[in-house]
Amino acid sequence: MSILSVKNLNLGFNTEEGFKQALFDVTFDLEAGKTLALVGESGCGKTMSAMSILNLLPKTAKITSGQIIYNNENLLDKTQQEMQNIRGGKIALIPQDPMTSLNPLYTLGDQLLEVIKIHQNLHGKEALKKAEEAFDAVQIPSAKDRLKNYPHEFSGGMKQRAIIAMALACNAEIIIADEPTTALDVTIQAQIMNLLNQIKKDNNAAILLITHDLALVNENSDKIAVMYAGRIIEQTDSAEFFANPNHPYSKALLKSVPSDKISRLATIKGQPPTLMQNISGCKFNPRCDFCTERCTQKVPPLLEISENHYSACFLNTI
């Protein structure tokens, strides 16, 4: 069951050279109890798509069309005040760098209690009990004492646990995890993902996992959407994607993942296009080994090539 739907989202930026479009008809659904992984190289539009849901965009950004439907309402029609009531409560964000969202001047307990008071309307001993339960749930030892600590007294992994505790304390229905394991060692990465998966199971929450780590995606997602230059170019169930990738870009990404079966990693030639580059047709065509003249003239539509498997490549229409 879809809990949130992003429909034909188009977004751009006002620059010195004029308006430059960054997202093109981005469409995906988040389902209760499921994880959708949004993957692709840096700058492809993953984070902008997620920040559009939260209405946390830079001042130069502008959504030109599309809908983001949550509880039968378009979030793009909400005021900032209305979005503040939704952010953190119903839709929680786990940022790439927790230090950007934790205030170094306040204890972690103060920050967690503020979230609980605003979104759960609990105060005093009730709020403190909720905060302790949230720290316990994310396996922060000596929860009552650790609530008195400041962010600098926590390690990177523990800071992420504190952020997850905020989402847990508010019973968030949707969790947006933006590169949640970046800069963490492998053991801590596994612990953080296990926590998120447990929350998904216990609360029937929907998770939008933003990452470029395909190994992480393989182990922790139900569905996958691959982005390139502001477009979703392939979307399907994760098991189907890793068994039968269709788009040349998807295949190239998978070949670049380290494996015991290969001694030399494959690379994708060239670089992803910048916002200022004007590439006609399929934006992957300068880097694609299967590029034809049609690829340089028209943008391939996202078509269903098999049940619930969508891909945007002219090779599927030959």
Chain segment 193-244, per-residue pLDDT in tens: 888 998 899 889 999 999 988 989 999 999 999 999 999 999 999 999 999 9
Query: Is residue 39 within 8 Å of 33, Cβ to Cβ?
Result: no
Is residue 130 within 8 Å of residue 115, measured between CB atoms? no
For the chain, the structural domain boundaries read 2-90+170-317, 103-168
The topology under which CATH files domain 2-90+170-317 is: Rossmann fold (3.40.50)
Range 155-191 burial, b when 16+ CB lie within 10 A, else e? ebbbbbbbbbbbbbbbebbbbbbbbbbeebeeebbeb
d(CA 239, CA 221): 9
- Tens of each residue's pLDDT in the chain, 318 residues: 789 999 999 999 999 989 999 999 999 999 999 999 999 988 899 999 999 999 999 999 999 999 999 999 999 999 988 998 888 788 988 887 777 778 999 999 999 999 899 888 889 999 999 999 999 888 899 989 999 999 999 988 888 889 888 888 888 899 999 988 877 788 888 888 888 998 899 889 999 999 988 989 999 999 999 999 999 999 999 999 999 999 999 999 998 877 666 667 778 888 889 888 889 999 999 999 999 999 999 999 999 999 999 999 999 875
Task: Give the pLDDT confidence score for residue 129 in this predicted structure.
Answer: 92
Tokens of 226: 């691959």
